[in-house]
Amino acid sequence: TSPFAWLRTRFYYLLIRLYFDQEFSIEEFTRGAKQAFSVVSKLLSQRKLDLLEELVSAEVLQVLKEKISLLPDSHRDALAADIDAIMYTTEGDVRIYYDDDGRKFVSILMCFWYLNGANLPDEVPGETKVFQIVFGDENTKEKKHLLTANYEFQREFTEGAKPDWTITRIEHPRLLE
């Protein structure tokens, strides 16, 4: 990320701590986001969408129901991210905003890069094959793909609102389109 973007996100984290949640920690948030990403991506790959109702917004869940039913098995398998296979995580955009009713929201976009061994066709655009890991000898190779995903987490900070983060956007480029 650019130094300007890094500085901007740190400024937003300061505002979150000052005006919304004095206990907010980006490190703790990132740990929780990685866990949520791993759980949600596995449930998506298993088509267990009914278990996502408490984690994902109703609008996103409706779109996912339509998209998941059309995916080939290889693409569905590639959605699953084991927490130990997450290679890199970074924050994207951070937004603080108010709606027309005066409710306060914070939204944080998280970007994940993860390894997955799904049997994807070589012509899948947008993903990068990075590793061929050799176990034992040259005849035993396991192909891994480095895939990306973007999940946006939103929390309402209006007095009396539930203190839960909800996923309001899920993108698995070239897999879930």
Residue extents of the structural domains in the chain: 3-111+148-171
Tell me, what's the pLDDT at 32?
Answer: 97
Angle at 9 between CA 146 and CA 54, to 5 degrees: 65
Tell me, what's the pLDDT at 44?
Answer: 95
pLDDT tens sequence across 134-165 = 445 666 667 788 899 999 999 999 999 999 99
- With CA atoms as reference, report the closest residue to 88 among 147, 16, 154, 22: 147
pLDDT tens for the 177 residues of the chain, in order: 688 988 999 999 999 999 999 999 999 999 999 999 999 999 999 999 999 999 999 999 999 999 998 899 889 999 999 999 999 999 989 999 999 999 999 999 999 999 988 887 665 555 555 554 544 566 666 778 889 999 999 999 999 999 999 999 999 988 877
- How far apart (Å, rounded) are the C-alpha atoms in residues 46 and 8? 37
Find the distance separating the first CA and the last CA of the chain, reported in whole Å. Answer: 25
Tell me, what's the pLDDT at 106?
Answer: 97
Structure-block tokens of residue 145: 């793909």
Tell me, what's the pLDDT at 126?
Answer: 53
Tell me, what's the pLDDT at 123?
Answer: 55
* DSSP per-residue codes, the chain: --HHHHHHHHHHHHHHHHHT-TT--HHHHHHHHHHHHHHHHHHHHTT-GGGGTTTB-HHHHHHHHHHHTTS-HHHHHHH---GGGEEEEEEEEEEEEE-TT--EEEEEEEEEEEEE-----TT-TT-EEEEEEE-SSTT-EEEEEEEEEEEEEEEE-STTS----EEEEEE-TTT--
Tell me, what's the pLDDT at 10?
Answer: 92
Looking at the DSSP assignment, which residues form a beta bridge with residue 97? 105
Tell me, what's the pLDDT at 94?
Answer: 94
- Residues 94/108, Cβ–Cβ less than 8 Å: yes
